[in-house]
A and B are shown apart, each in its own frame.
Chain A
Amino acid sequence: MGCDCKIRTENLTVSYGSFQALKAVNLSLHSRRIIAFIGPSGCGKTTFLRALNRMNEIIEGASTRGRVFLDGKDIYAPEVDVVSLRRSVGMVFQRPNPFPMTIFENVAFGPRLHGLARGSDLAELVEQSLRRAALWEEVKDKLRQSAFSLSGGQQQRLCIARLLAVEPEVLLMDEPCSALDPISTLRIEELMRELKRNYTIIIVTHNMQQAARVSGETGFFLHGELVEFGPSSRVFTSPEDRRTEDYITGRFG
């Protein structure tokens, strides 16, 4: 294989019934990076993201061909435990979706379920996760309050803390800031930059300026095809493909 990468896809193709949402995507993603995927609605970028932790499988009629390797192991192999996979490759969604529980319980839920910690170790793990999500100082005095008492931006950071608590390797973020105000958005982006030191972050976004700000590499999807992939500094100043140029300059969208 000869690839020193965190995730590698080989002819990854996803179909919903007869509709081919993703066409033979070949890509290598390195660890400890922020990688952004952009493209117009329906281009396949979210389908691609979901394929990286087999979330597509919960959609009726979805079929996946090709391969996805995480640290060299095929995640679609029959012996792979999907629950364990989704712990390693966690996802944050567009709308924050905290559990209808306390702030503490939201973060403790996963580690408790996976048997990662209990008692005082669990409390410490919750604190560490909330600190890593840059939320601890804001919630440390109200851990027993409902997660819904938090603002949208805080809820999103709580969802990130919830992910971090189960010790993932990869964070998938599907338009994580589109429901947030600008200040909350900037905070999440700051958090991403912090988290990049220890995790691989893959983000799908409609916000090109965000992709340009936070990511080291950007991929452009169109009609299920990965049209271009490269350093963000190049993609946004001198894209190689005319279709990328037309999209990012707003000639179509």
Chain B
Amino acid sequence: MKGIRQAFEEQLDELQKHVVRMGGLAAEAVEASIQALVQRDVELSAKVMEIENQIDAFNLDIETRCLQLLALQQPMARDLRTIAAVFRIITDIERIGDYSVDIARQARVLAAIPLFKPLIDIPRMAETVSRMLHNSLEAFVRRDLDLALAAVQEDETVDHAYHSLHDELVEYIQRDPSLTLQAIRLLMIGVYLERMADHVTNIGERIFYMETGELKELHE
């Protein structure tokens, strides 16, 4: 049914497209930051910062659009929930961008020194996070609750991987304290990825709210 509020519908549609573009940039930043680490590529680290600047710009732009829609259109029901969800989702995407920069900074430092262990857990965690984020954005576009919930469930995988990484690095440190600084840097990267997964879970919860009107924690 063609709505009588066509201009509003177009603005809402545009808003959602911006969210997807912003999320896409965040996914790009995550992937680039891990590649910078794995390939020891300092230039790629710098690229992550550029992407993050674009994410920040989207954040401000989308927030402004949301406020204007609220003030000028007085949305109700599903439209209101969509805008309320977008407010929160962009915050989570923005944080994912920030963590990508944090990873890129560590990658820049680690590129200058030999690593004491091969990178296995970290790239795997990053792959899961990247997949969670892509699926969440897809779920947002399609309003697919099953896909959103599937993405949320993968958070547990990331949590387990982080704990494994933590235990492994602690063992390394206990065996050879001179590895402490590097181990801490690697652990921090694990923390950033674990936090990214949490933010993707938040996105899933907001998608759930958009569709059902119910606010609830979807993960433990």
- A residues whose Cβ falls under 8 Å from a Cβ of B: 208-209, 212, 236-239, 244-246, 248-253
Contact = CB atoms under 8 A, between A and B. Distances in A.
B80 interface: yes
B77 A209 contact: no
Interface in B56-113: 74-81
Given A237-B80, A238-B77, A250 B213 contact: no
B140 to A, nearest CB: 19
B17 to A, nearest CB: 19
Given A237-B213, A238-B213, A251 B77 contact: no
B118 interface: no
A209 B81 contact: no
Interface of B: 1, 3-5, 8, 74-81, 212-214
Contact of A249 (B77, B212, B214): B77
A41 to B, nearest CB: 14
12 contacts: A208-B74, A236-B76, A237-B80, A238-B77, A246-B1, A249-B5, A249-B75, A249-B78, A249-B79, A251-B3, A251-B5, A252-B4
B3 A250 contact: yes
Given A237-B81, A237-B213, A248 B5 contact: no
Contact of B74 (A209, A245, A251, A253): A209
A222 to B, nearest CB: 15
Contacts of B1: 246, 251-252
Nearest to A212: B76
Chain B interface SS verdict (over half): loop
For B8, B74, B75, B76, which residue has the most chain A Cβ atoms within 10 angstroms?
A: B76
Contacts of B5: 249-251
B4 A236 contact: no
B4 A253 contact: yes
A113 B64 CA distance: 59
Give the 8 A-B residue pairs with the shortest CB-CB distance, closest first. A238-B213, A250-B5, A248-B76, A251-B3, A245-B77, A236-B76, A249-B79, A239-B77
A249 to B, nearest CB: 5
A238 B79 CA distance: 10
A238 B4 contact: no
Contacts of A249: 3, 5, 75-79
A221 B75 CA distance: 20
A246 B1 CA distance: 10
A248 B1 CA distance: 15
Given A237-B213, A238-B213, A245 B78 contact: yes
B26 to A, nearest CB: 28
Contact of A238 (B3, B8, B74, B81): B81
Nearest to B12: A249
Nearest to B5: A250
Nearest to A252: B4
Contacts of B212: 238
A205 to B, nearest CB: 14
Contacts of B4: 250-253
A137 B4 CA distance: 45
A29 to B, nearest CB: 23
Nearest to A208: B76
Contacts of B81: 237-238
A245 B213 CA distance: 12
A246 B76 CA distance: 10
